[in-house]
Amino acid sequence: MIDKRRKQMIYDVAVIGAGVVGCAVARELSRWKLKIAVLEKELDVATGNSCRNTGMLHAGFTYKPGSLKAVCAVEGNEEFDLVSSQLDVPFKRTGKLVVGFTDHDRENILKFRKNGEINGVKGIRMLETREEIEAIEPYAGGNFAMYVPSSGILDPMQYTVALAENAAKNGARFLFGAGVTGIDRKEDKDRWVLHTAKGDISSRWVINCAGAYSPMISEMLGYPAYYQKGFKGEYFVLDKKAGKYLSIPVYPAPNDRGGFSTHATPTVDGNILVGPDSYLTEGREDYANRKERLDGLLADGSRMFAQMKREYFIRNFAGIRWKNCDKETGEVLDFILEADPEHPHTVNLVGIESPGVTCALPLARRAVMKILDRQSEEGSPLQANNSFDPCRRVLKRFSEMTMEERRKAIAENPDYGQIVCRCENVTKAEILEAIHNPLGVHTLTGIKNRTRSMMGRCNGGYCQTRITQMLEEELGLDPEDIRYQREGGYLFTGKVRD
């Protein structure tokens, strides 16, 4: 709704940030009759750390008992078979190996085993010999290992897209390119006014899900600008040819501070991720890769995975875990999830680092509960959205179909018969579905992340121009309007000649 006199968009709840946490919050909010806006500074969901991670569904054995990290990880892990089937996202409950070489490794692994048991992680057991390890994964390193059956792998980008599309289907509105630059409180109207690059938004409730920038939004809402340290981690992505050598994530024994260094993790699409390492950075979006770091990954990764070879490398990326820390001691603290009545109608989520993907829905439910409780206390309880549908469906990928399914799909829709991306076998039907996605995203990386086109060995050399042309034809865009990923990231600057 737009207040015409003041040209403000008016909502019940404004969620700042469309990472996995903001999208999970929007999805859980859409169970209620509310006008919901998700304000995102970039042009798609999951452009921050939600697409810059390992994609593990963590079991919850590393986190301090009783902490939000521990409780939400175990809860998020247990419910994910149901969640992934409702949202039609790929997920494999692979289990995980934490491998050790020395007595000291064993001591640290056993501490995690005990911690996991206190946190309620089921089925953890030790594998004492190489034979036992090889029975599960012949290419895993280590002389002994802890096996954790409940760990799993998911595609964090697809999961975030699915949460957002499901929220949109149930009524939430996504505003892209709408970075929040300032927030004012209109006490007389009991509302917040958020200044964004897309104009002002008025909302009764504000939920801070701004990831790396959550301390800045926290301060704008009147909470402290919590102290954080940025732990950057770099990755190698290995070709699917390497994928057949690893069926289960392989982690090294934790260090004395309880942290893991470089691990090898299969992806749901059959690639392998090697990383992340961990070092401090100050740049909130310092995602560049560094040669010396990649050399380190190669050495450390080889200890976890015997097939770590240069010929398999296809690309790199990096992410940053922004951890809440004690300023004096440097101790890493828990997630912050708070709703202080001193800052009325706000929910503040800060420092949602790893395992934030695993914890996204449990955190979202707790954030929405704060709103439900407060609205009830104020005598205006929320009404259920009776048309809420928890499910979302996407076209089955051509690359994953049997020959019989392919024949049937092409007979029903000839667009399945045209391969646009040769490396990943992505068809015109799938690209068209992505171009007409429910969130209205039309960047090239938006298409790439939804379909896997441009993600193969040729990195889009063959299909990128074809997809650009399809964007022009389907959406009536001029070539100069098409952006690669970000605001200002235009592919074409103008015509070379008329």
Ligand X SMILES: Cc1cc2nc3c(=O)[nH]c(=O)nc-3n(C[C@H](O)[C@H](O)[C@H](O)COP(=O)(O)OP(=O)(O)OC[C@H]3O[C@@H](n4cnc5c(N)ncnc54)[C@H](O)[C@@H]3O)c2cc1C
Which residues of the chain form contacts with ligand X (CB under 6 A)?
16-22, 39-42, 46-50, 52-56, 58, 179-180, 209-213, 233, 276, 319-321, 352-358
Distance of CA 396 to the CA centre of its chain: 21
Nearer to ligand X, 262 or 427 (CB): 262
Helical H runs in 137-255? 156-169, 214-220, 240-243
Measured between alpha carbons, how far apart are the two ends of the chain, in Å? 43
At closest approach, how far in Å is the CB of 285 from ligand X? 9
At closest approach, how far in Å is the CB of 452 from ligand X? 19
Nearer to ligand X, 17 or 446 (CB): 17
At closest approach, how far in Å is the CB of 25 from ligand X? 9
Neighbours of 384 (CB within 10 A): 9
Q: Nearest to residue 46, comparing CAs of 198, 164, 181? A: 164
SS3 state of residue 446: helix
* Cα–Cα dist 323/329, whole Å: 14
Q: Phi first, then psi: what are they for 406, rounded to 5°? A: -65, -45
At closest approach, how far in Å is the CB of 490 from ligand X? 19
Distance of CA 94 to the CA centre of its chain: 19
Question: Rg (Cα) of the chain, in Å, rounded?
Answer: 23
At closest approach, how far in Å is the CB of 19 from ligand X? 2
* Cα–Cα dist 452/402, whole Å: 19
Nearer to ligand X, 19 or 142 (CB): 19
At closest approach, how far in Å is the CB of 156 from ligand X? 6
Nearer to ligand X, 293 or 428 (CB): 293
Q: Which two tokens stand for residue 356?
A: 């934030």
At closest approach, how far in Å is the CB of 258 from ligand X? 15
* Cα–Cα dist 163/89, whole Å: 10
Nearer to ligand X, 39 or 454 (CB): 39
Nearer to ligand X, 101 or 227 (CB): 227
Long-range interactions of 435-438: CB distance < 8 A, separation 24+: 435/470, 435/471, 435/474, 435/475, 436/474, 437/161, 437/165, 438/165, 438/168, 438/169
- Using Cβ positions, the residue closest to ligand X within the complex turns out to be 356
* Cα–Cα dist 354/146, whole Å: 21
Nearer to ligand X, 76 or 460 (CB): 76
At closest approach, how far in Å is the CB of 428 from ligand X? 29
Nearer to ligand X, 12 or 353 (CB): 353
SS3 state of residue 60: coil
Nearer to ligand X, 219 or 480 (CB): 219
- In a 13 Å sphere around the CA of 443, the CA atoms on its Cβ side amount to 18
* Cα–Cα dist 195/92, whole Å: 41
At closest approach, how far in Å is the CB of 178 from ligand X? 6
Nearer to ligand X, 128 or 286 (CB): 286
Distance of CA 122 to the CA centre of its chain: 25
Beta bridge partners of 154: 91
SS3 state of residue 226: coil
SS3 state of residue 354: coil
At closest approach, how far in Å is the CB of 69 from ligand X? 10
Residue in the block written with tokens 């209109």:
186
